[in-house]
A = this chain, B = another copy of it.
Amino acid sequence: MTGQVRPVAGDLPPASSPTIADVARHAGVSTATVSRVLAGLGGAAPATSERVLDAARRLGYRPSGVARSLKLRTTRTFGLIVTDIENPFFPQLVRAVEDAANAAGYAVLLCNAVDDPSRELAYLELLADRRVDGVVIAAASLGRRQQAWLAEAPVPVVLVNGSVPGTRIPSIESDNAGGGRLATEHLLALGHRRLAALTAPRNADAAARLAGVRDAVSGPAAELAVGEGDPTVAGGEAATDQVLAAQPGTTGIVAYNDLMAIGAMRVVRASGRRVPDDVSVVGFDDIGLASLVEPPLTTVAQSTVEMGRWAIERLTAAVRGESAGSPGPLPVRLVVRGSTGLAPPQV
């Protein structure tokens, strides 16, 4: 089948995209003039300008981004590596990053690492080979080899929600410790004294969140059990099983993230307890889902919009040759919904 072939009439665009030379020929000028006119940088006689614009329009000419990138040594593209696009936190971040990038005139090459460090590294190289102007990494954790690569990355890199301790790679993080503290204080204020934290040891920011919880708990005479799991609903279920076994009297749970919190609610309910009457649960992230579950989840919200904005802003600065460090932690805020309530009366 040669289904693609169509009869071509007079001035119609050729099969493969017209080039600047085609336009130049049709307008009876040089390619330099076409380039100038199309760039909008005046300096061309109105009549000439007219002819060029006209030819371009007739031919349906669109400059090749590829050729332009080669010449200009910039692709106007940023790479974005996320740990797992199917975790509802990331679409929000992707959106924020893409919006910010678009606003700055950049496109985004999305790379979903699927929680696989080797894919992460492969993507890093892919992006470098494609000469993106910068890459933002939103990864829960970073392997050794990725860190090594990043240490001498040939392109500007920013980290979102994570950092590489040894290096100078700019990064931004929410106030994770503050968030953990906030969540815990909320529970404490409601009278809870037997608390549990659900953590996800593989995630870089989990430690800070847990530290915040510990910090808050240390004041009042309260107890804290800790459970571990993956940062998923299933992981939250597993972690909750642990803490409920270790400390059956638990009345308040603060989870590493909303997914784990949802898992916690399921297990709590499966154990015959009610949320929030018997056990209160608070999450982290405020994913869209949080307000949709029953009861709606009390959670610590982070601003993905801010993160995306900062990441792109930092990258565009790097493109301009400016250097800068990492800002302080991004403020978080507690969103109180239905999954937390007064502690049940002491038995």
B-contacting residues of A (Cβ < 8 Å)? 1-4, 13, 16-17, 60, 62-67, 69-70, 73, 75, 77, 85-86, 88, 90-92, 94-95, 98, 107-112, 114, 125-126, 128-131, 154, 233, 262, 288-289, 292-294, 321-324
A66-B66, A109-B107 known; A92 vs B86 contact (CB < 8 Å): yes
Q: List residues of chain B with CB within 8 A of the CB of A69.
A: 66
Asked if A65 and B1 sit within 8 Å, CB to CB, the answer is: no
Asked if B62 and A125 sit within 8 Å, CB to CB, the answer is: yes
CB < 8 Å neighbour of A95 from B62, B73, B112, B154: B112
A114 CA / B96 CA spacing, docked (Å): 11
Q: How many copies does the complex hold?
A: 2
Asked if B91 and A131 sit within 8 Å, CB to CB, the answer is: no
Asked if B293 and A64 sit within 8 Å, CB to CB, the answer is: no
Asked if A4 and B321 sit within 8 Å, CB to CB, the answer is: yes
Instruction: Look across to chain B and name the residue whose beta carbon is closest to the beta carbon of A323.
Output: B3
A94 CA / B80 CA spacing, docked (Å): 14
Q: List residues of chain B with CB within 8 A of the CB of A112.
A: 94-95, 98
A70-B66, A112-B98, A293-B294 known; A85 vs B75 contact (CB < 8 Å): no
- Report 23 cross-chain contacts, Cβ distance below 8 Å, ordered by A residue: A2-B323, A4-B323, A60-B154, A62-B129, A65-B131, A66-B66, A66-B69, A66-B75, A66-B131, A85-B91, A86-B95, A88-B91, A88-B289, A90-B91, A94-B110, A94-B112, A98-B110, A98-B112, A107-B126, A109-B110, A233-B292, A289-B289, A293-B294
A83 CA / B64 CA spacing, docked (Å): 26
Asked if A154 and B292 sit within 8 Å, CB to CB, the answer is: no
Instruction: Look across to chain B and name the residue whose beta carbon is closest to the beta carbon of A88.
Output: B88
> Measured between C-beta atoms, what is the minimum distance from A5 to chain B in Å?
10
Instruction: Look across to chain B and name the residue whose beta carbon is closest to the beta carbon of A131.
Output: B66
CB < 8 Å neighbour of A130 from B65, B126, B288: B65
Q: List residues of chain B with CB within 8 A of the CB of A94.
A: 85, 110, 112
Beyond A4-B321, A17-B131, A64-B70, 17 additional pairs, beta carbon < 8 A: A2-B323, A16-B73, A62-B125, A62-B154, A63-B129, A65-B129, A66-B70, A66-B131, A70-B70, A85-B94, A85-B98, A88-B288, A107-B109, A107-B130, A109-B110, A233-B292, A289-B289
> Measured between C-beta atoms, what is the minimum distance from A271 to chain B in Å?
15
A65 CA / B130 CA spacing, docked (Å): 5
Q: List residues of chain B with CB within 8 A of the CB of A109.
A: 77, 107-110
A67-B70, A109-B107, A110-B108 known; A128 vs B62 contact (CB < 8 Å): yes
Q: List residues of chain B with CB within 8 A of the CB of A131.
A: 17, 64-66
A339 CA / B128 CA spacing, docked (Å): 48
A55 CA / B202 CA spacing, docked (Å): 38
Asked if B98 and A1 sit within 8 Å, CB to CB, the answer is: no
> Measured between C-beta atoms, what is the minimum distance from A218 to chain B in Å?
34
Instruction: Look across to chain B and name the residue whose beta carbon is closest to the beta carbon of A79.
Output: B107
